[in-house]
Amino acid sequence: MSTVLVCADDPSPAVTLEVPEANVVAVDNLCTSPKQIATKVPEGEALLVLAVHREVADRGAIQSAARQLGFDPLSVGIVDLSATTGAAQASLACEANLARISRFSGSVPQQVKLLPNQRKTRKAFLSLGAPVYVGAPMIDGPSCVADQGCKLCVTECPTDALSSTGGAVAYDVTKCVACGICVTTCPTGAIENPSVDPGAVEAEIQTAVNRSPDPLGIRFRCRDSVVAAESGWYQVEVPCTGMLTVGWAFAPLLLGAAHVDAVPCGAGGCGLGNDERLEKTMRDVATAVETISTDASDLARSASASVHQGWLNHGSTGRVLSQVTGAHAVLSMTFDTADVGMINIDPSTCTACEMCAQICPTDALRSAPNVTGVRISFDPQICVGCGQCVATCPELEHGAIELKRGFDVSEWAAARREVRYEPTAACEICGEPVAPAAMLSRIKEMLGEEATETMALVSRRCINCRGR
């Protein structure tokens, strides 16, 4: 059983909520006196949602009361009654929030970010309210590929809270604003934030869509923004809408939503410039919708038959696009921002050095050297468009490799394919491979006239036989 406590105060009149399989209790002054939840929640209760009026509720005090009751405050669902149009929408929000928090897997002390309580007043000299905590990122060392040269999270972090040091990523919680961008940027899914668990968000959206009697739009909004309630739209809170990817924007359609929308911060804009980021993503989404279909609701209908889950998971943008473009046999889209990519290798300039395959964090580019040659293959289904292969290519200036952030139905369907084969020269003594022929040619070209003697040795004998 779950408990939903509903604030029965002004500014909006008390609403009577109906939430299946939950004990719904109306509580006077819940927004202003959250300590009383201790007497309202049965002992041993696993799930708790509070429906409050955001503008008057003290989130810090709510978290404090929840903590005292033995809850992890990040596991308590908060529904803003002011952002709902009435009892039906508020009930739906409570049910969807219960679905979200039921997926909460816990947090550790390193995953909470302390925000000073803005309700602190100078009137009561030196008094301060209970601080508000939000989920903060934590890097899973074994999954992180910083040691292979990946710095995507470092580059994308808007506050320089992440830095690259000696093949690892260092995190400074004091600079972090817990915007979630690193979570959706990480090419290997090594960064987790308990406030933005993709599975939990997906459960919330799925429940809202399934339980709504009418077609429902999904509107992502920033944690700090206040968005007016609108009939037919359900608001999903994320730390910052700048973290949304093309995949996240499309995924609600696959879950049955009629529309998708994302609202950036208020009139003052995002202080971190993340609204620009959101704008780019949504522009890509609009282009894709235009390319695929003129009516997003058609798209939703065709896609909602799918029963697959995990659309918001790391690296799933390609799968999402594959699903939404299902009926289109020939379709190619390019994006500015999408975390999907297609690789093109130019055999006339690529030396088959394999560095691109070695650095690829998802194994989308893979090399298979053997005695006769080097084969490099590419799987677009797992490419996250991170660009590490391009950044590391020593022949980039000659156009050896190109990354197109985008999606091609036919390429996707083909899955892994060979993108480069280069024969290797065999050692004249032992027969072992020396180096790819193209690489030897390139070295020769670079050495020019001085190459004669060195090249003769390098190109005919492997590294073990050169001294003989």
Partner 1 sequence: MTLESLSRLRQGVYRLLGAGFSYPTAEIISAAGGATTLFEGLGVFDYAFAPDVAKAAAALANAKLDNLGVAYVSLFEAGVGGVACSPHETAHRSDARTGEVPVLQAELKRTVLRYGLRLADSSEDLVDHVATELHVMAMLCHRQTQLHAASAPVGRVVSSQLEFLNSHLLQWVPGFARLVQAKKRHPAYTALAEAVSAFLVHERQLVPLLVTEAEGPP
* Closer to partner 1 by Cβ: residue 140 or 346: 140
Contact with partner 1 (CB under 8 A): which of 1, 128, 168, 368? 128
Residues 168 to 187 in contact with partner 1, rule: CB under 8 A: 173-174
CB of 5 to partner 1, least distance (A): 18
Q: Which stretch binds partner 1 (CB under 8 A): 63-71, 208-216, 387-395, 420-428?
A: 63-71
387 touches partner 1 by CB under 8 A: no
166 touches partner 1 by CB under 8 A: no
* Closer to partner 1 by Cβ: residue 121 or 464: 121
Contact with partner 1 (CB under 8 A): which of 11, 20, 116, 347? 116
- Residue pair 135/196 in contact (Cβ under 8 Å)? The answer is yes
348 touches partner 1 by CB under 8 A: no
* Closer to partner 1 by Cβ: residue 112 or 321: 112
Contact with partner 1 (CB under 8 A): which of 28, 85, 105, 114? 114
- Which residues, in sequence order, are CB contacts of 130 under 8 Å at separation 6+? 58, 60, 61, 63, 64, 117
**Strand 132-135 versus strand 112-115 pairing type:** antiparallel
For 78, counting Cβ atoms within 10 Å of its Cβ (0-12 exposed, 13-18 middle, 19+ buried), the class is buried
Phi-psi domain of 347 (left: phi exceeds 0; alpha: psi -120 through 50; beta: other) = alpha
- Supply the DSSP symbol for 426: E
* Closer to partner 1 by Cβ: residue 54 or 67: 67
Locate 160 and state its tokens. 């320089």
64 touches partner 1 by CB under 8 A: yes
Residues 400 to 419 in contact with partner 1, rule: CB under 8 A: none
67 touches partner 1 by CB under 8 A: yes
Locate 204 and state its tokens. 């919330």
- Supply the DSSP symbol for 354: -
Residues 131 to 150 in contact with partner 1, rule: CB under 8 A: 131, 133
* Closer to partner 1 by Cβ: residue 65 or 303: 65
* Closer to partner 1 by Cβ: residue 131 or 232: 131
Q: Which stretch binds partner 1 (CB under 8 A): 56-64, 88-96, 195-203, 393-401?
A: 56-64
Q: Which of 120, 121, 117 is nearest to 134 (CA)?
A: 117
- Residue pair 348/398 in contact (Cβ under 8 Å)? The answer is no
- Residue pair 310/203 in contact (Cβ under 8 Å)? The answer is no
CA distance 195 to 178: 9
415 CB-side CA count, 13 A: 0
Q: Which stretch binds partner 1 (CB under 8 A): 21-29, 62-70, 383-391, 432-440?
A: 62-70
CA distance 90 to 6: 10
Q: Which of 36, 27, 31, 22 is nearest to 8 (CA)?
A: 27
159 touches partner 1 by CB under 8 A: no
CB of 63 to partner 1, least distance (A): 8
**Beta bridge pairs of residue 377:** 366, 418
Tally of residues, the chain = 468
b/e map 420-433, b = 16+ CB within 10 Å: bebebbbbeeeeeb
How many of the chain's residues bind partner 1 (CB under 8 A)?
23
54 touches partner 1 by CB under 8 A: no
68 touches partner 1 by CB under 8 A: yes
Q: Which of 345, 385, 347 is nearest to 364 (CA)?
A: 385
CB of 37 to partner 1, least distance (A): 12
CB of 377 to partner 1, least distance (A): 41
Interface with partner 1 by CB under 8 A: which residues? 60-61, 64-65, 67-68, 70, 73, 109-110, 112-114, 116, 126-131, 133, 173-174
